[in-house]
Amino acid sequence: MKIYLLGAANPETIRMIRAVQRSTSNVEFSGFLDNDPKKKNTNFYGFPVLGGLELVHELSNDNVGFVNLITGSTRTRYETSREIVASGGRLVNFIYPSIDLTMTRLGVGLYLQEAVIVQAGVEIGDNTSIHMGALIGHETRVGSSVFIAHAVSVSGCCSIGDGTFIGTNATILPRIKIGKWATIGAGAVIKKDVPDYGIAVGNPGRVIKFNEIPFSDGKIN
């Protein structure tokens, strides 16, 4: 399978590519797409940057997959992933090979970095990204188009709604429900449920305002 990656920005991607290449022989990383026109026809750590999302339709076939590396905004990740799918592209998973995923259920279009821990009984929806060193506790359900930053701790039996953004080093206590398109600030300690679109910060976490996002879910199909 040939894989194209959207977002030529983070050199950590190259280390992940090399790790995947060491673990499997049937994947070819063919280059990057990036919507920044200044990056077109440049080189990113030895890989060509071919252009933007306008190339998805041209590149797509049964042996091609796309990975969305955008994580700074769940809204942008959601919109660009939907554009890939609408253009005929197929999203595939980009997962660090050492992550133990036995006894879990996974969607498509996932981007899971090194040292992520996904415990037994976890479910993760489509188009979600989890960065290095994050812990997802047992029997937690993570929705679609979610971003969980590095060193986040999500305790067991939690529910994380579609489109939610959880900042670096945040802690979610057991059996907490985070609504859809919520934002959890870096370092926040969430001890109570957070409503849909809520923005929660601090320790203990409290909702200070609400996101103005026009989406009812984070599904990409």
pTM over 0.85: yes
Whether the per-residue pLDDT at 185 is higher than 90: the answer is yes
Q: CATH number of the domain at 2-94, please? A: 3.40.50.20
| Residue corresponding to tokens 């997959």 | 65
Whether the per-residue pLDDT at 1 is higher than 90: the answer is yes
Residue 73, amino acid: S
Whether the per-residue pLDDT at 221 is higher than 90: the answer is no
Q: Containing H/E element for 17?
A: helix 12-23
Domains of the chain, residue spans? 2-94
Using a pLDDT cut of 90, give the percent of the chain over it: 99
- Is there a contact between 151 and 135 (Cβ–Cβ < 8 Å)? no
Whether the per-residue pLDDT at 25 is higher than 90: the answer is no
Q: How far apart are CA 60 and CA 14, in angstroms?
A: 22
pLDDT at 119: 98
- Is there a contact between 17 and 69 (Cβ–Cβ < 8 Å)? no
Q: Which stretch of 92-96, 140-144, 189-193, 217-221 has the lowest confidence by average pLDDT?
A: 217-221
**Complete DSSP assignment for 85-108:** HHTT--B--EE-TT---TT-EE-S
